[in-house]
């Protein structure tokens, strides 16, 4: 398979048409090889426009990677700076962490599934990516002990906005993720200004698999 042609087609036919036009982001998606972060028998599928199942030792884990166009859109909208300290919830294969690490000062990424976390560490090490710390556990409960961050990325969805994570944003910080329940889910960018005021911008409608242990909406009781 011609991976470079497939990568070019992914960028030109999936990601750019989604109005991802920041050349630095497009260059990043070219430089970090997505096929190196999937199982060997999935490499030909690494560039498809879907949430690709995460497999370990040939078995489906029940978890997925975000679609490439979502990853590209997140990278563009969250505007990573070289000084940013980044937290990712939902490591998956380590691909998004690898992308973030190319732009940020440091990335901490938390994965609930121990086997997936181990595979992500192996993937990142094999690619020589050093500015990433993979933590095993629940991102929604363990993040508080890690301090504050400039950027928080949810690599999956949460039924409701995770207010505890917003509290961990530094002044000028941003959080991006997919919020809601099927069939109504929306990517949202949250920002905190220098006075600590929080605002949010709806970006686009999409569907993403829920992150493990995400905060849930309260059921209505009659």
Q: What is the pLDDT of residues 118-144, one digit of tens each?
A: 999 999 999 999 999 999 999 999 998
Query: Confidence band (pLDDT; 50, 70, 90) for 4?
Result: very high
CA distance 6 to 192: 38
CA distance 166 to 147: 12
At residue 216, the pLDDT reads 87
Q: Supply the range of the domain harboring residue 147.
A: 3-205
Q: Classify residue 215: in a domain, yes or no.
A: no
CATH number of residue 32's parent domain = 3.40.50.150
Q: Classify residue 118: in a domain, yes or no.
A: yes
Higher pLDDT, 10 or 184: 10
Q: Classify residue 102: in a domain, yes or no.
A: yes
Q: Classify residue 220: in a domain, yes or no.
A: no
Q: Classify residue 211: in a domain, yes or no.
A: no
At residue 22, the pLDDT reads 97
Q: Classify residue 65: in a domain, yes or no.
A: yes
Q: Classify residue 47: in a domain, yes or no.
A: yes
The count of domains in the chain is 1
Q: Classify residue 76: in a domain, yes or no.
A: yes
């Amino acid at each position: 398979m011609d991976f470079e042609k497939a990568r070019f087609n992914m960028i030109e036919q999936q990601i750019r048409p989604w109005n991802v036009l920041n050349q630095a982001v497009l260059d990043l998606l070219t430089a970090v090889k997505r096929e190196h972060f999937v199982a060997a028998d999935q490499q030909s599928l690494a560039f498809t426009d879907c949430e690709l199942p995460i497999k370990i030792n040939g078995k489906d884990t029940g978890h997925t990677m975000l679609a490439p166009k979502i990853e590209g859109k997140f990278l563009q909208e969250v505007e990573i700076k070289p000084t940013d300290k980044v937290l990712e919830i939902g490591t998956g294969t380590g691909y998004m962490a690898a992308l973030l690490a190319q732009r940020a000062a440091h990335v901490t990424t938390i994965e609930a599934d121990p086997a997936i976390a181990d595979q992500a560490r192996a993937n990142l090490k094999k690619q020589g990516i050093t500015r990433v710390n993979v933590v095993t556990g629940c991102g929604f409960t363990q993040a508080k002990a890690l301090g504050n961050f400039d950027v928080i990325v949810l690599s999956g969805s949460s039924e409701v906005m995770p207010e505890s994570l917003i509290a961990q944003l530094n002044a000028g910080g941003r959080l991006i993720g997919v919020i809601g329940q099927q069939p109504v889910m929306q990517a949202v960018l949250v920002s905190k200004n220098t006075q600590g005021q929080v605002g949010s911008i709806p970006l686009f409608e999409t569907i993403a698999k829920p992150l493990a242990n995400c905060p849930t909406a309260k059921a209505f009781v009659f």
